[in-house]
Amino acid sequence: MRIGELSARAGVSVRALRYYEEQDLLTSTRSGSGQRHYTESAVERVVFLQRMYAAGLSSRTIAELLPCVESPSEETSDAALARMAEERDRLSAHIADLIRTRDSLDALMAVNRAHRETLRTA
Amino acid sequence: MRIGELSARAGVSVRALRYYEEQDLLTSTRSGSGQRHYTESAVERVVFLQRMYAAGLSSRTIAELLPCVESPSEETSDAALARMAEERDRLSAHIADLIRTRDSLDALMAVNRAHRETLRTA
DNA sequence: CTTGACCCTCACGTAGACGTCAGGTTTTAG
DNA sequence: CTAAAACCTGACGTCTACGTGAGGGTCAAG
C-alpha cells in the first residue's frame, strides 16, 4: 500500500510516517518513481510506535528496542532486551505515580463535593 | 521564605517557580526591593503542580482546576469541578492505556526470553 | 565597605514530534 | 489527454516548560 492508505489505516499523518522513516523506525520499499510502498505489517508496526510514544519513549529509545520487535526469531542483543526491561520498569513507576495523582484528584473532588453538600443543606 | 529555599524544598528550579507565577499557578508577596516571599503552603502547592504536570496537564488546564484546590472551603465553580472530573477521566484512560502498553512489552520480552532458551538448549 | 551568595527582569535558546507551505513529479479517474 | 488527487524533497514554523546568559540590584558576613 502507499503512504496515504497506511496513514488512514494506522490513524497517523503522512508527515508522521515520513518522520518515522527518517528516525529509522519504519522502512519502505520505493517504486521506480520514488514513491513509498508498505506491507500489511507496517500497520501494526505504526500502532506499536504510537504505543511507545504514548508511553513517553523518545524516537531514539524506541529504535533501541526495535531489535526485540523485529526479530524475535533471531538472537536479540542483550543490550536491547536490557533496555526493554529498563523502560518497562520506568513505565511501571510512571503508572504508579499517575495512579497516586488520580487518587489525589479524587480526594480533592470529594472534599469539594462534600462542602457543596454542606452549603446546600445549611 | 525566599525563592531559593522554596526551590530547594520543593525540588524544582528557581526558573520554574518564576514560570509558575507567570502562568498564575503560584503567587508570592514582594519585599520592598522586589524579592519574592512565600509561605509554607507554597511547598505543597508546588508539589501539586508537579503532580499535575506529570499527569500531562498543561499550565492552562491546571489553572482552570485551581479554584478547587485553593478554596475547598468556598463555593467552587461548577466549571472548575466539571473540568477536574474531565481531567480525572482522561487520566484514568491514559493509565489504562499505559497498562496495556506495559503488558505488550511484557509479552514481547517473554517471547524473546523463550526464544533464547530455545537456542540455549538446542 | 566590600565580597560573594542570592535575587531581579528581560529575552533568546532548546528539544521533540510533527504541521505546513513551496515547488515539482506521478498516478488515477473520466 | 487533462485535471484532480496523491506523492516527493527540502526546509522553516509551532508549542511547551523551562535552560541559560546578560546586565544589574540586594543582603548577611567579615
Question: Counting every residue, how long is chain A?
Answer: 122
Mean pLDDT (whole number) for B97-104: 95
Q: Which domains does chain B have, with CATH numbers?
A: 1-54 (1.10.1660.10)
pLDDT band at A71 (very low <50, low <70, confident <90, very high): confident
Answer whether any strand D atom is within 7 A of the Cβ of B51.
Answer: no
Distance CA B51, CA A93 (A): 14
CB contact under 8 A, B91 and A84: no
Task: Note the CA–C1' distance, B92 to D9, in angstroms.
Answer: 41
Biggest CA–CA distance in chain A, Å, is: 78
pLDDT for position B70: 82
Among A61-75, B67-81, B96-110, which is the least confidently predicted range? Answer: B67-81
pLDDT for position B37: 97
CA contacts within 13 A on the Cβ side of B57? 29
Name, in order, each residue with C-beta under 8 angstroms of B7's C-beta and a sequence gap of 6 or more.
B13, B14, B16, B17
pLDDT for position B76: 72
Distance CA B42, CA B72 (A): 16
Among A64-73, B61-70, B106-115, which is the least confidently predicted range? Answer: A64-73
Among A25-34, A93-102, B48-57, B69-78, which is the least confidently predicted range? Answer: B69-78
Answer whether any strand D atom is within 7 A of the Cβ of B35.
Answer: yes
Instruction: Tell whether the model's pLDDT for residue B72 goes beyond 70.
Output: no
- In the block, cell 526470553 appears at B113
pLDDT for position B117: 80
pLDDT for position A114: 86
CB contact at 8 A, A91 and A61: no
Where helices occur in chain B by DSSP H, the ranges are 3-10, 14-22, 41-54, 59-70, 78-121
In chain A, positions 20-59 with C-beta closer than 7 Å to nucleic chain D are 34-36
Mean pLDDT, chain A, integer: 92
pLDDT band at A13 (very low <50, low <70, confident <90, very high): very high
Q: Strand C: which bases are under 7 Å from protein Cβ?
A: 6-9, 11, 16-20, 25-27
Closest-CA residue to B87 (of A31, A104, A85): A104
Helix H or strand E encompassing A37: strand A36-37
Alpha-carbon distance values, A75 to A48, A84, B24, B79, B120 (Å): 21, 15, 54, 56, 11
CB contact at 8 A, B14 and B46: no
Q: How many CB atoms lie within 10 A of CB B114?
A: 11
Distance CA B37, CA A108 (A): 27
pLDDT band at B116 (very low <50, low <70, confident <90, very high): confident
CB contact under 8 A, A113 and B54: no
Q: Is B108 an interface residue toward A (CB < 8 Å)?
A: yes
Question: Counting every residue, how long is chain B?
Answer: 122
